[in-house]
Amino acid sequence: MQPISIVGPGAPDLAAALADRLDGRIAVVNRASDDLGEAHASDEATDGGVAVEAPADRTDADTAVSLGADGEWTGRGSVDGLDAFLDGLAPDHDYLVAVGDSRLRVPTVLLGTDADREDVPGTVIAAADAPADVDLDRLVADLDAAEPWITREALVRRVEASANADRAGAIATFTGRVRARDAPDDDRTTHLAFEKYEGVAAERMDAVAAELTERDGVFDVRMHHRTGVIEAGEDIVFVVVLAGHRREAFRTVEDGIDRLKDEVPIFKKEATEAEEFWVHRRE
């Protein structure tokens, strides 16, 4: 799923125009606020859960949900974290357009003369005074080129669709997450920030996965490492292995995460309650 956040005056209008240009299943998420007006009219039960009915003049997205003033997402129930919410939408949608929420670490469009790039954790891919000033063709191209929102479940689905899936008796997965502290008396880690060597990181990760897939009894290996700011308790990295038997699967998962950490140029900055530092400079 390709997510994008649109923040500032006129964000709902730009979201509607962008949704009309996107090809695929689209989820539009509105954060209810005085600036946006009344985001949604009513709840409507659907076969796939609960969807929130959007006003007819906003967008004809496949799914529309809202975030109330109390901070709870509605439309597919309530979730505690933003990552969990995106994870829930990702399997069924090609795009997510988030309107009015500046906390998402996803590609972001800033609207308005007071827009400040430092106020959002995501990469700013467009900035303009008003929606009409945004080049929609370029925005769609930049969005499609941006890093997608990948989940462990999405990687599992991909290996299940592999050509040799009928020979596989095991799927093993590894999920790395942000640890708040090593010991009870440690300063709490609030978040980690990851930066990757563009192009090189993706190529090296693909090469590691390809090499592991050549092992006897291993049919498919998928890896994904998230970048940007990731808060304590949230997921960072996934390794998924499809294999004939559990021994090959477990061994390859372990080797996969070890090689990813050793060979893929992704750099980590840790922020605790007391300080911030680049981890590789202390190793």
pTM of the prediction? 0.72
Among residues 96, 127, 145, which one ends one of the domains? 145
pLDDT value at 146 more than 80: yes
Contact of 234 with 178, CB cutoff 8 Å:
yes
The string of DSSP codes covering 121-140 is: SS-EEEEESSGGGS-HHHHH
* Mean pLDDT, residues 199-203: 90
Contact of 136 with 124, CB cutoff 8 Å:
no
203-230 tens-digit pLDDT: 999 999 999 999 999 999 999 998 888 8
pLDDT value at 141 more than 70: yes
Q: Which CATH number does the domain housing residue 175 bear? A: 3.90.1170.40
- Asked if 193 and 109 sit in the same domain, the reply is no
Among residues 145, 163, 191, which one ends one of the domains? 145
Among residues 145, 166, 195, which one ends one of the domains? 145
The CA-atom distances, in angstroms, between 226 and each of 176, 234, 237, 252 are 10, 10, 6, 21
Range with the poorest average pLDDT among 83-97, 163-177, 236-250, 261-275:
83-97
Contact of 24 with 94, CB cutoff 8 Å:
yes
41-71 tens-digit pLDDT: 222 222 332 233 343 344 455 555 555 544 4
Range with the poorest average pLDDT among 76-90, 150-164, 218-232:
76-90
Residue 276 lies in domain:
152-281
Amino acid letter, 113 = T
pLDDT of res. 91: 79
